Structure 1
């Protein structure tokens, strides 16, 4: 039946489907505002969606919005990788569900793509300020039940991870999204578990990155690659993300630029800025006492 519906209406149905999957609910006004349609057209879209997927949504007259049901099954196919990219760039319209144009652009291979239903539950928890119960498989302790309060999903250059308060360790940590299973959205968090108390996330540091002084004979080439000004690239980054950026770019973080192999074309000039930052065991050449990678 979807094939007989106009492209514009399929877009609107995909948006309803997207919001129910990733937010858990949608107001009729959300659809009207997004697509600038009239009230009657919006009502027809919800009626058609309910006809196509009668067990996917239920209307709450008190809150005046539609909620996802326990029997929800997406009406459209939502690709996990493309959806994460769109969420990261605030393009949460669900258009990818109905087939975007394929452009001849390739990216480097990434690790395992997360399960779309796991992504949806985590996004629901973040959007609605809820905690989650998950089964998480870590390198140190294997598979165990964890209670987390997620606040952000991050692409660290190799894989997607979730920044969350971990009730087991009583600290904010990073959890690889593809290592999660059986996610259940739970109750609202306590104040100390919310993002405002994640100091490593809230606070930023300034990194001064320059061409490697010992490995690069013609630093101007590197300066052009990275758009450096006066030979320096200054980047403000969250403390919680510093290690990932430095590893992704192969930035030599040793005090005396002592990493001499060819992949190290950059050096962190202000090495001292990394003092007292967790999760720097992954920064090339920097020896950290501990890591908070789950």
Structure 2
């Protein structure tokens, strides 16, 4: 039977099974029944039909009482990387996925590059199941090589997607650009003490940023106040320390001590510059290091 021959409602349920297996790595019959409010017999028919269409995609674990993704899994449906990341980040479902039922570790999309959907799926599985991952990664400083990471979040930094993870090679939490990951393989076991999201102090630490229209580069500050929804001439936002540099670069915020950057691109000024003390990715914050 071809997918196009299956009625829409059942095709939705099959897509849900496919999505859960690909991004979570497992699902139960109860997950399907709860999501679509169907009876036990209908759910059994859906799983049987999925197995007939993709027999090598799942296996039932009697001990865990759940269906597991197999090593030979190949998605039955096409999951577009750009659309999937946007849906995950905004908790939007089109009825063909598990979004809304599962809290996925993805935040704030905008203009995206397009990473490999299978790499994304492996990383999401690792995060949801607290698994380490072996990756082949190409960095600007050391080229291509194998690494073991323990990921905890996937993030859009305004320019590209990256995964925030503990890097066992450097013994530190780092950002890894998704499009530079050539291969991702789930490893046995779980993360070790010190590798959890709560141990990532730059991630946990929240920084208040007070942004104002640039005092020298903006002739009519009211326009900037309207652009950013400022109140009393100031925009107050809170960001993770690990993300502060990305936001300041993306918005071209002048981070010098005396608002010394000139040019029409610098329309915002960071009023409370001292808040950045201790953040680690400030090399990309406009003017901050040059003025230290």
TM over 0.5: yes
**Residue in 1 that maps onto 2:258:** 256
Aligned residues: 279
Checking the alignment, whether the CA contact within 8 Å between 1:205 and 1:237 is kept in structure 2 is yes
CA apart distance, 1:200:
0.7
* Equivalent-residue separation in structure 1 for 2:41 and 2:148 (angstroms): 43
Give unmatched runs, 5+ long, in structure 2. 99-108
**Residue in 2 that maps onto 1:198:** 200
Q: Are positions 1:239 and 2:241 aligned together?
A: yes
CA apart distance, 1:181:
1.7
**Residue in 1 that maps onto 2:177:** 176
Give SS of 1:121's match.
helix
* Equivalent-residue separation in structure 2 for 1:81 and 1:96 (angstroms): 14
Checking the alignment, whether the CA contact within 8 Å between 2:135 and 2:184 is kept in structure 1 is yes
Checking the alignment, whether the CA contact within 8 Å between 1:82 and 1:96 is kept in structure 2 is no
Change in 2 beyond 3 A, CA 1:92/1:129: farther
CA apart distance, 1:217:
0.8
Checking the alignment, whether the CA contact within 8 Å between 2:59 and 2:67 is kept in structure 1 is yes
**Residue in 2 that maps onto 1:13:** 14
Give SS of 1:214's match.
coil
* Equivalent-residue separation in structure 2 for 1:93 and 1:81 (angstroms): 14
CA apart distance, 1:91:
3.7
Give unmatched runs, 5+ long, in structure 1. 98-106, 290-294
Checking the alignment, whether the CA contact within 8 Å between 1:136 and 1:179 is kept in structure 2 is yes
Checking the alignment, whether the CA contact within 8 Å between 2:32 and 2:43 is kept in structure 1 is yes
Deviations 1:160-185 (A, max 9, x none): 00000011111111010110122111
**Residue in 1 that maps onto 2:125:** 124
**Residue in 1 that maps onto 2:218:** 216
Moved more, 116-125 or 180-189: 180-189
**Residue in 2 that maps onto 1:278:** 280
Checking the alignment, whether the CA contact within 8 Å between 2:111 and 2:158 is kept in structure 1 is no
* Equivalent-residue separation in structure 1 for 2:290 and 2:149 (angstroms): 25
Checking the alignment, whether the CA contact within 8 Å between 1:279 and 1:288 is kept in structure 2 is no
Give SS of 1:272's match.
helix
Change in 2 beyond 3 A, CA 1:74/1:61: same
Deviations 1:102-122 (A, max 9, x none): xxxxx98644x1101111111
Give SS of 1:172's match.
strand
CA RMSD between the two structures: 1.8
CA apart distance, 1:35:
1.4
Change in 2 beyond 3 A, CA 1:148/1:58: same
Q: Are positions 1:3 and 2:4 aligned together?
A: yes
CA apart distance, 1:95:
2.3
Deviations 1:80-130 (A, max 9, x none): 111111222234677279xxxxxxxxx98644x110111111111001000
* Equivalent-residue separation in structure 1 for 2:157 and 2:95 (angstroms): 23
**Residue in 2 that maps onto 1:144:** 145
